[in-house]
Amino acid sequence: MVRQFLLMITFAAVGCQCEADAPDLIFDAGPSGPELPECEGALVNDLVSGRCVPSRGVSGKCPEGMAYDTAHPWASEAVAAGSAVIYVAEGGSGSGSEADPMGDLGEALRQLEERGGLILLGDGRFTVGAQPLVTKLVTVVGRCSAGSTIFGQVGGRWNVNGFGDNAHMRLAGLRLEMGLKASNLRSLKLNQVVTKAEAGQRSQPGIEIRSDEDEGIELHAHSVEVSHWSQGIKATTGIAGVEVSGSRMEQLGTGVIEVHQTVDNAKVLINNNLLTTREDADVVVAVGKPQGVGATIDARERMVDTFHGEVVIRDNTVRGLPDEAIARQRDDGAKIGIAVRYPRLSADNRIEILGNTISDLRDAGVWLRQVAASVEGDDTGQWSVLKNTIERVARGMVIDHITGTMSVSENAMIEPDGVGVALRYPGSGVTLSQNGVVSPGGRGYDLGPAKAPTSTIILTENQVTGAVRSGFYLRAAGGGTWNLNSNTAHDCDWGFAAVGGSEGNDQAANLTFKDNGVVAMNADSHRVGLGVLDVKGDVSIAGDRLESASVGIWLERNYGGTISVTNPVMIRAGGASLLAIGNNSSIAVDELVIPEVAEASIAYDDLTDGGDRATQVGVLLLDNRSVGLSNVSALVNPLDQAIVVDRSALSNEHYEGLDLTTDASMTAQGLEGPDNSFLMSGLDGVAIQGTGAARFVEAGDSSIARGWLRGAP
């Protein structure tokens, strides 16, 4: 009360254009706004002022023929509302009227601490002095960032404090020669503002906001330029909203935009900005706890209660190097482009990452993560990652522990050093569709394990080209239901690989491959079309198209379920179109037309028992517990060895847990092909049953190439 009384006396003692009963200011101009001019060339309408400006950044010109920018919407709105108006001109010494302006910006701010109102700055440099207190809306409008400059705060920071529900501040048409920190305001709005750090200032954020109040603080920045600071915008605690649009934020030290903790139902919009960092930065855009807090991921996860609400990051250029003239090397660039991490568990969250161009990073273009303590069924809201282009990065996307509804669609990952998309511990509701990975240095898609054995994950119409390792690599040890439909792998070492863990420790998985495609005709860089190894559970392969220089479908050491291969569209293969070896799972093959099979060495990892010998077999079945063949045809592409069945190498050291002394069986019906092309040897008393059994002939003791794939790359 004493402070308020002293402020009232101070305010009454200094002259300004004030009216005793002036109404409170209207916060926004509203839909009526300024009439927008038509812009030519690369210019666009500024969201706030309506003037033609560069698509990102500030306008280059001051308004012509005006000593003060009274035409700015915030200024004209304040005048129309009858708010207090103070004119400040360089060298002024008057009361603050237009005819007799003040010269001290700090004094003008003190005049409006309790009252609120508008300050119009002319050309020149203005000192702010001590930090102001804002209790009502204060608007400061300069002529333009090239004409009106604010400086003078000791330590390179302009600290603005707010108090009360009406504490709002707006700054337009200014250049700040210092950082800006706003505490406990309800909102801070910036338009056409420039701040560039000089030597000695670069360890601080350019703009920082925080609030200790339950309602939180909002930042709206349109057409601003922030450069050379430690961070461009740092929003720490009590954040109710951050909106950054049409801005340039360049050459920042540790990151460009960081949003840490929010209040409930916060809104974050980062739209149509150019955002770059210096090459040792952590994260260009981070929502959630920043990369540098806590020594480990587990330590950072323990700092819960990070953000809640709506996050939209769209149409930005995000680059981890300061300018296009610098060519990225493998270890150059910021670590991560866009990171959204640890939202509170809530169905009300909405996270959208759309249409961004992300490049030049030491690690991931996009990293999304929920805390590991979340479980299947926890709802983290709706996540959407759509139409982003990611290039010159170590990894395209890393997506961890998502248990909400997530759609990752139509993104392009171009030549990542390693994996294109790493999907770790996804829960039900995660879908990947129509994404493309071009020439990854590792895997195209590295998938799993699932968040829980009950999780269901869907991949549809995704593509990968030129993967040095697997196109699609699925970790099946954690179980889950995985549906891979209409995906395509071109020129990859393995097209598709599903790999389990240690027998007895795995959860049962349910894998469906349907209408996927593999095209890989270079035998020097391709080994397997579709491989399933060490998987516990049921596997369905139906209608997949395979054109391969090596084995088309490879099934090895699987157990605890049934593997069905139905109507695959096989064009070419090398060595064997289908190889099943050492499976405790039941193998069921139906409606298979054997393709053209070239004579080739089967690419075992250990070349034991003649494993380097070239073969030319349609279907090769070695040491399996239960096999069913139905409607297998070698009429279109006749082979001397259409189907070869052998169990002669069975031993405990090769097949742990595989028992062929009980419940071993084989059935065959509807076989088509040349006489004497269906061969069997060493079946240890297991008779082939069915209408096609009579077509099998003894192959004698001829050696059949054997070996092991220890796992997919």
Measured CA to CA, the distance from residue 598 to residue 212 in angstroms comes to: 72
Determine the average pLDDT of the residues in 639-655. 77
As a whole number of angstroms, the distance between CA 645 and CA 642 comes to 10
Helix/strand/coil for 347: coil
Q: Is the pLDDT of residue 22 over 50?
A: no
The torsion defined by the Cα of 551, 553, 559 and 564, in degrees rounded to 10, comes to: -150
d(C-alpha 313, C-alpha 358), whole Å:
12
Q: pLDDT band at residue 30, thresholds of 50, 70 and 90? A: very low
Q: Which of 173-177, 319-323, 330-334 has the lowest mean pLDDT?
A: 330-334
**3 state DSSP class of 623:** coil
Q: How many CB atoms lie within 10 A of CB 226?
A: 31
Contacts of 129 by beta carbon, 8 Å cutoff, 6+ apart: 104, 105, 106, 107, 152, 153
Q: What kind and span of H or E run contains 109?
A: helix 105-111
Would you say residue 291 has pLDDT above 70?
no
Q: Do residues 105 and 35 make contact, with C-beta atoms less than 8 angstroms apart?
A: no
Residue by residue, DSSP assigns 415-482 as S-SS-SEEEES--TTEEEES-EEES-SS-SEEE---SSTT-EEEEES-EEE--SSEEEEEE-TEEEEE
Whether residue 685 has pLDDT greater than 70: no
Place of tokens 């399933």: 532
Centre a 10 Å sphere on the Cβ of residue 560 and count the other Cβ atoms it contains. 17
Q: Are residues 553 and 529 in contact, defined by beta-carbon separation less than 8 angstroms?
A: yes
- pLDDT of residue 88 exceeding 70: yes
pLDDT beyond 70 at 287: yes
User: Tokens 């290039």 sit at which residue?
Assistant: 391
Q: Which residue's structure tokens are 């995000």?
A: 318
Q: Please compute the mean of the pLDDT values over residues 330-355 and round it to a whole number.
A: 92
Over range 64-82, report the average pLDDT.
93
What is the model's pLDDT at position 648?
A: 72
Q: What is the pLDDT of residue 359?
A: 96
208 vs 606, higher pLDDT: 208
Q: What is the pLDDT of residue 294?
A: 54
Q: What is the mean pLDDT of the chain?
A: 89
Reading the block at residue 613, the tokens are 């010998």
Residue 20 pLDDT > 70: no
The pLDDT tens digits for 532-585 are 999 999 999 999 999 999 999 999 999 999 999 999 999 999 999 999 998 989
Question: Residue 473: pLDDT above 80?
Answer: yes
Name the nearest CA neighbour of 175 among 197, 208, 199. 197
The residue type found at 493 is: D
**E strand intervals along 299-345:** 309-314, 317-319, 336-341
- pLDDT-derived band at 613 (thresholds 50, 70, 90) equals confident
Banded model confidence at residue 709, pLDDT cuts 50, 70, 90: confident
Residues 6+ apart with CB under 8 A from 618: 576, 577, 578, 594, 597, 632, 634, 637, 639, 641, 642, 643, 673, 677
More confident residue, 486 or 291: 486
Q: Please tell me the distance from the alpha carbon of residue 448 to that of residue 402, in angstroms, as a whole number.
A: 12
CB 346 within 8 A of CB 370: no
CB 220 within 8 A of CB 246: no
Element (DSSP H or E) covering residue 569: strand 569-574
Q: Is 498 in contact with 528 (CB distance < 8 Å)?
A: no
For residue 616, count CB atoms less than 10 angstroms from its CB and return exposed for 0-12, middle for 13-18, buried for 19 or more: middle
* Contacts (Cβ under 8 Å, ≥6 apart) of 191: 46, 48, 49, 72, 74, 170, 171, 172, 173, 221, 222, 223, 224
pLDDT at 612: 65
Confidence band of 661 (pLDDT split at 50, 70, 90): low
Residue 652, pLDDT score? 52
Q: Is the pLDDT of residue 653 over 60?
A: no
Q: Which two tokens stand for residue 685?
A: 């008393």
pLDDT at residue number 19 = 33
- Spatial contact of 376 and 451, defined as CB atoms under 8 Å apart: yes
In this prediction, residue 503 has a pLDDT band, given cuts at 50, 70 and 90, of low
* CA 6/CA 18 separation, integer angstroms: 18
More confident residue, 681 or 571: 571
Distance in angstroms (rounded) separating the CA atoms of residues 433 and 435: 6
For the chain, what percent of residues have pLDDT higher than 70?
Answer: 88
138 or 26, greater pLDDT: 138
**Confidence class for position 272, pLDDT limits 50, 70, 90:** very high
**Mean of pLDDT values over 108-113:** 94
In angstroms, the CA 106 to CA 415 distance is 54
Q: Is the pLDDT of residue 468 over 80?
A: yes
pLDDT at res. 28:
38
Burial of 693 (0-12, 13-18, 19+ CB in 10 A): middle
The whole-number average pLDDT for the span 175-194 is 96
Q: What is the pLDDT of residue 298?
A: 67
Residue 681: which of 651, 657, 652, 703 has the closest Cα?
Answer: 703
What was the pLDDT predicted at 292?
Answer: 53
Q: For 235-249, 439-453, 478-492, 655-669, which range has the lowest pLDDT when averaged over its residues?
A: 655-669
Per-residue pLDDT at 50 exceeds 60: yes
Quote the CA–CA distance of 499 and 497 in Å, as a whole number. 6
295 backbone dihedrals φ, ψ, rounded to 5°: -75, -30
- In the structure encoding, which two tokens stand for residue 7, read together? 């402020």
Which residues of 26-98 form beta strands (DSSP E)? 43-45, 52-54, 85-88
Does the pLDDT value for residue 154 go beyond 70?
no
Q: Using CA atoms, how far apart are residues 109 and 95, in angstroms rounded to an integer?
A: 13
Is residue 123 a contact partner of residue 150, using CB atoms and an 8 Å limit?
Answer: no
Cis peptide before 449 (omega within 30 of 0): yes
Spatial distance between the Cα atoms of 447 and 112, rounded to a whole number of angstroms: 58
Q: What b/e string do you get for 180-217 counting C-beta neighbours within 10 Å, with b at 16 or more?
A: bbbbbbbbbbbbbbbbbbeeebbebbbbbbbbebeebb
Q: Position 422: which residue type?
A: A
What is the C-alpha separation between 326 and 117, in angstroms, rounded?
Answer: 46
DSSP 224-250: -EEESSSEEEEE-SSEEEEEEES-EEE
Determine the average pLDDT of the residues in 604-618: 74
**Structural contact between residues 681 and 656, judged by C-beta atoms closer than 8 angstroms:** no
In angstroms, rounded to a whole number, what is the distance separating the alpha carbons of residues 27 and 24?
A: 9
Question: What does the domain layout of the chain look like in residue ranges?
Answer: 1-251
Residue 252 confidence class, pLDDT cut points 50, 70, 90: very high
Using a cut of 0.85, tell me whether the model's pTM lies above it. yes
Distance between start and end Cα atoms, the chain: 72
DSSP 181-222: EEES-SEEEEEEEEEE--TT-TTS-SEEEE--STT-EEEEEE
Three-state SS sequence of 488-517: EEECCCEEEEEECCCCCCCEEEEEEEECCE
Pick from 488, 646, 662, 504: which is nearest to 581 by CA? 646
User: CA separation (Å) from 530 to 516, 537, 587, 711?
Assistant: 10, 17, 15, 13
> Residue 277 and residue 256: Cα distance in Å, rounded?
7
pLDDT band at 378 (very low <50, low <70, confident <90, very high): very high
